Amino acid sequence: MNWCHYRFRSVWELPAPPDAVYAVLDRPEEYPAWWPQVREATRLDEHSGTARVRSFLPYDLVVTLTERRRDPVARVLETALAGDMEGWARWTLTSPGAGRTRVLYEQAVDVRRPLLRRLALPARPLFRANHALMMRAGRRGLAAHVRTV
């Protein structure tokens, strides 16, 4: 088993129409306004940017994101990740009913930061819990944000 490889999957149910949620997720440079653990996000050009994230544990991860798929009709956003983590992340939005959105977030990454690689085995449960806390805060922040948009 590669202890530096992680796969994550989160499902969020939001009381907002899918197109409204997609519009927010399609502007990653604005994530810090509603997602506390996304400390910085900067667009480099139309298809790429950088982000600095930090959850409960005292370390920042810096990644470069490059668009792989941007499909407003299918409501899918997918990006390649490079830097402290390498891999991909994808948002897929569906509508379970009128005015509601089911958000599926999937991510597959390999940790590249040397300290995190050394701690991969003993700290794996902490890293997974750290990610879960970040995703919970993201869901709450996005739900509140789309109510005000």
Among candidate residues 118, 100, 111, 139, the one with its CA nearest the CA of residue 10: 139
Taking the complete model, does pTM exceed 0.85, yes or no? yes
Length of the chain: 149
pLDDT tens series, the chain, 149 aa: 899 999 999 999 999 999 999 999 999 999 999 999 999 999 999 999 999 999 999 999 999 999 999 999 999 999 999 999 999 999 999 999 999 999 999 999 999 999 999 999 999 999 999 999 999 999 999 999 998 87
Among candidate residues 90, 84, 81, the one with its CA nearest the CA of residue 57: 84
Among candidate residues 106, 101, 80, 115, the one with its CA nearest the CA of residue 147: 101
Backbone angles phi, psi at 116, to 5 degrees: -70, -30
Q: How confident is the model at residue 148, as a pLDDT?
A: 83
